[in-house]
Structure 1
Amino acid sequence: MLTAFFWLLALFMAVLTLSVRPMGAWLAPLASGQVPARLAEFDRALLRLMGVRDTAMDWREYARAVLLFSLLGALLLYVLQRVQGWLPLNPGQRGAVTADSAFNTAVSFVSNTNWQGYAGEASMSHLTQMLGLTVQNFLSAATGIAVACVLMRGFARRETSNLGNFWADLTRISVYLLAPLSLLLALVLASQGVVQSWAATLPVATLAGGEQTLTLGPVASQEAIKLLGTNGGGFFNANSAHPFENPNELSNFLQMLAIFLIPAGLCHAFGRVVGDRRQGWALYGAMALLFVLAASALALAEAQGNPLLNALSADASVGSLEGKELRFGAAGSSLFAAVTTAASCGAVNAMHDSLTPLGGMLAMWLMQLGEVVFGGVGSGLYGMLVFAVLAVFVAGLMVGRTPEYLGKKIEAFEMKMVALVILLSPALVLLGSALAVVSQAGLAGLANGGAHGFSEVLYAFSSAANNNGSAFAGLSANTPFYNGLLGAAMWLGRFGVIVPVLALAGALAAKKTLPPSAGAMPTHGGLFIGLLSGAVLMVGALTYLPALALGPMAEHLALWAGR
């Protein structure tokens, strides 16, 4: 199992690294707020058609536009779910979604979390899936990329309040990037057997002589943007473990690659925008280092198998197969689990609740690091840049210098925004988990007691506050208590971070850019990659270690002790 895993990991990282430069070249003009000359006329016509004026916005105007757009999107998606029973394209005649579930789902998809407390094929009409969920997959992803572009401009521009125009950025990212990539991936996935149909069901004869009704729908089109936009919401309840969403090993590899494609490319785009491509490669290097270490540790945990099954003469060489699809095995499932939790993508091809205790802990910890190990489209880059600012601040304190990053002095206001970004998510995770385990409504959703039950709750709030969307399925979260509390965590975890990130961008853009000096710390070499990786690990370890000790660590010790 481990041999297969490391060969798969090596191939995956090689293909991903080869994609970084071309994706960065595609993304850089969008990040700069420019349009290639060959598209200038089309771009003007597109913006006129959309009613967009490409006027300059400062960070406050940009933030207001992001919040207003997201609020309206959540409201429209909520209404669509509530009235879907009276609308067309509802072949299964599905009724209205309950108020608390509709609220949770609306917030989930607008915040790029895509947490699902329902079975998609049983709850949502085709119209809701396409007009509601798939559209928000595009728009929430474009919003995250737009915010990352603004932070890039903050580092690249000097003595200005102009950070671009949100409406123009949203339109261009959706039309020039997400739409063509999604169309291409949807066609490739459909060629591999991913379903794309208007039909609701298909009756088939079984080998036993009976008949089974299979659920169909427009799956490939939603699957493509679900992955490329690091959204994660599956058409089917089983998500990418379902053969109609993920039929074979090739589709599995392409889905993992699609999740990291844009986040990795944004690193190179950052280097191009700030005029030093080495800066982008340094960020990519830190992300790749953390990912390879975490994915390898997760695979090692799964390779040990379950000691209780091993004692019954189960074949331990294939790893832990509980909750995994045999067509992917423990190797393909372990890598997918690491990819989807490193990125803010809730797509899963195995049940994370069935991961070994330490395997589940590593998947959880990748989210708890702030979704910066590649992370979501846009959110991963701006999260890692926040840690880069923290890293140079710590280094400046150690040598007694005013910290600088890319020629911009890091002062009190910038560090306040960094602190807000870094501390908000842990506060939501830990306070939400604490409230759930001391309230009757929270405990009622647990299928397991003890350390594993606590892990289920901690995973849920880690997933929600970091806008991931995957879950330990043993938690029954489709209740008014969890729908409301997790919905609040998703909203604050997304927009409570975006606003200080935009404020940080505004402060940086207003500063002068200082020329490099002999005393400035290089931020493109191995030393900085190590410092940046250390800052991410230090914050994650100090914040979550006590909670992890109560959950997955305690469960691991009890399991291997035979209790």
Structure 2
Amino acid sequence: MVELLYFPFFIGLLLLVSPFIGYYMAFILNAKGLPLEGALKRFLFSGEPRSQTPKQYLQSLIIFHLFGGILLFLILKYQNLLPMNSLKLVGMDWDLALNTTISFITNTNWQAYSGESQLSNFSQMVGLTPQNFLSAGVGVSVLAYVSRAITSSETKHFGNFWLDLFRSSFYILLPISIIIALLLVSQGVIQSFAEPITSVSSTGNIRIIPMGTAASQIAIKQLGTNGGGFFGVNSAHPFENPTPISNFIELFSILVLPASCVFLYGKITNSFRHAWVVFFVMLSLFVIGFLCVFYSEMNHPGFWEGKEARFTLTESSLWLSATTAASNGSVNSMHDSYSPLAGGIAIFQMMLGEIIFGGIGTGMYGMILFLILTVFLSGLMTGRTPEYFGKKIGSYEIKWTLFGILAPTLCILIGTTFTLLLNNGYTANGPHALSQILYAFSSAAGNNGSAFAGFGADTLWGNLSLGISMLVGRFGVICAVVMVCGSFGSKITTKTSEGNFKIDSLLFGILTFSVIIIVCGLSFFPVLALGPILEELFIQSGVFF
């Protein structure tokens, strides 16, 4: 009975909490002044910060990531020279350090390494954890900027990157993370500077169990949709996720802020009904995905390898659905161990471009591109002038919209093709080999970070190709949505009339849902048919890979 109520309770709590957090986020980001902010303004701006144009905003964003990336790369490459390295770990190879750097600055947290055995506490605390906050903060900042732009009229200045980043990191992410970390510690998640524990197994083998500041990193990895675990097996590790309560806290943390960002958008644009329509489009995609995963796992009871017996089928299936829908990437079981249909659903959710709630901020601003495309296509079909929030959609906006949608798609398909040709990284045979590669590039381009365990990414080709996919998946979409919404802000807002297409109606929600499925279906159905779908048909015939 408890397992049957788990999913409805999860969804009900999400519906209850998300609007309030979204309104709080909007208040913080649009406040005229906040405590402790004066010192920052005097230090960085010598007064009130100037509002930026889209190009100035993107320039600040790129400079910030460039300097942050260089610092993180040096920490990872030369961690053997830095303190808090009780296991005497060596620095990463340059290509792995570069891949990991790109991974964390893009909010992907793809891990081609095992956390506790290859990274020191210093690298985890000083290198990775700040990027968990900052990369998530960037997502919220970009969403706030484009939300203001959409509802502006005849102006090219919509906010300041540095101020938005400070507010999202210190007034939204930090306080909530502290609460989550304390809750996790209460459940037994470790938070310690103690030396590694040495134990002897029943067979006489000596085991070294690393300790560290796991709870603080896990809190922000979930809230910020980062996903990179302190330990190699992520939230399947009992030190990261010891109890059913800690499992629910971490699972709920994956979706609560991405869902809240929908209402942040609604609050800033003053379009609450439109926000609810978008929310239910996302929720419908999520519920359908979960039900497909759960049904498939129920009908394939033998797929237990790689799954935690501590967690029920509902808990594991819901985690797989949430983490691939939200571009989080954390796991409480190994995704390569799921049935082909369940794995295919996980891949498809990432292929959608992290818009089923998606990453914090990124899911909503990625969805904006699909909303604009829906309005444009609806206008073509009905003969009406396509307008979004009273702004006419022209060729400039639709070109950037298509770029933002198609750039990650090309990374997935081209990366998968060349990896197959190079025979690089995968260990399986038949359609499952294709699924392993397809999952990796969908995860990278969708800034997710999870993987099928059989794919070995720590090669020169794997590190560089996946790194490029992460960059395109993150900054290609950011550039597209900032330029589109910046163009909207410079236009005159026209008054809504009876002839305009209503964006707060059930019909608009159905059309948006359809456009998402059709666009992504046409792009990916052939390769999905050759991978997880074909493997499912083989397994039904008794052939395994």
Question: TM-score per shorter chain, which class?
Answer: over 0.9
Q: 2:460 aligns with which of 465, 474, 480?
A: 480
SS at match of 2:227: coil
SS at match of 2:78: helix
Please state if 1:420 is matched with 2:403: yes
| Rounded Cα–Cα distance in structure 2 between residues aligned with 1:473 and 1:386 | 32
Gaps of 5+ in 2: none
Q: How many residues are aligned here?
A: 542
SS at match of 1:237: coil
Q: 2:31 aligns with which of 30, 34, 39?
A: 34
Please state if 1:408 is matched with 2:391: yes
Please state if 1:341 is matched with 2:324: yes
Q: AA paired with 1:62?
A: Y
Q: 2:7 aligns with which of 3, 6, 9?
A: 9
Residue 207 (structure 1) shift: 7.3
Please state if 1:19 is matched with 2:17: yes
Q: Which residue of 2 aligns with 1:315?
A: none
Q: AA paired with 1:417?
A: W
| Rounded Cα–Cα distance in structure 2 between residues aligned with 1:42 and 1:395 | 47
Q: 2:131 aligns with which of 125, 128, 136?
A: 136
| Rounded Cα–Cα distance in structure 2 between residues aligned with 1:263 and 1:85 | 37
| Compared CA separation, residues 224 and 361, structure 1 to 2 (3 A) | same
| Rounded Cα–Cα distance in structure 2 between residues aligned with 1:551 and 1:209 | 43
| Rounded Cα–Cα distance in structure 1 between residues aligned with 2:3 and 2:153 | 46
Residue 322 (structure 1) shift: 2.8
Higher deviation after alignment, 365-374 or 490-499 = 490-499
Q: Which residue of 2 aligns with 1:451?
A: 431
Please state if 1:506 is matched with 2:489: no
| Rounded Cα–Cα distance in structure 2 between residues aligned with 1:549 and 1:211 | 46
For residues 223-247 of structure 1, the C-alpha deviation after alignment (integer angstroms, 9 at most, x for no partner) is 0110010001011000011111111
Q: Which residue of 1 aligns with 2:42?
A: 48
Please state if 1:285 is matched with 2:288: no
Gaps of 5+ in 1: 310-319
Q: AA paired with 1:471?
A: A
Q: Which residue of 2 aligns with 1:252?
A: 247
Q: 2:147 aligns with which of 145, 152, 158?
A: 152
Contact persistence 1:241–1:350 (CA under 8 A): yes
Q: 2:229 aligns with which of 207, 231, 234?
A: 234
Q: Which residue of 2 aligns with 1:198?
A: 193
For residues 132-168 of structure 1, the C-alpha deviation after alignment (integer angstroms, 9 at most, x for no partner) is 1101111111111111111101112111101211111
Contact persistence 2:143–2:265 (CA under 8 A): no
Q: 2:62 aligns with which of 67, 70, 73?
A: 67
| Compared CA separation, residues 430 and 211, structure 1 to 2 (3 A) | closer
Contact persistence 1:270–1:279 (CA under 8 A): no
Q: Which residue of 2 aligns with 1:386?
A: 369
TM-score, normalization: structure 1? 0.93
Q: AA paired with 1:214?
A: I
Q: Which residue of 2 aligns with 1:264?
A: 259
For residues 269-294 of structure 1, the C-alpha deviation after alignment (integer angstroms, 9 at most, x for no partner) is 11111122111111111111110011
SS at match of 2:426: coil
Please state if 1:562 is matched with 2:536: no
Q: Which residue of 2 aligns with 1:534?
A: 514
Q: Which residue of 1 aligns with 2:91?
A: 96
Q: Which residue of 2 aligns with 1:321?
A: 304
TM-score, normalization: structure 2? 0.97
Q: Which residue of 1 aligns with 2:343?
A: 360
For residues 63-117 of structure 1, the C-alpha deviation after alignment (integer angstroms, 9 at most, x for no partner) is 1111111111111111111111011111111111111100100000001100000
For residues 290-335 of structure 1, the C-alpha deviation after alignment (integer angstroms, 9 at most, x for no partner) is 10011111111111115xx4xxxxxxxxxx4332111112211100
Q: Which residue of 1 aligns with 2:114?
A: 119
| Compared CA separation, residues 516 and 196, structure 1 to 2 (3 A) | same
| Rounded Cα–Cα distance in structure 2 between residues aligned with 1:50 and 1:133 | 24
Residue 175 (structure 1) shift: 0.8
Q: AA paired with 1:324?
A: K
Kindly, what percent of the aligned residue pairs are identical? Answer: 41
| Rounded Cα–Cα distance in structure 2 between residues aligned with 1:212 and 1:167 | 46
For residues 501-543 of structure 1, the C-alpha deviation after alignment (integer angstroms, 9 at most, x for no partner) is 1101210111111111011122112111111111111111111
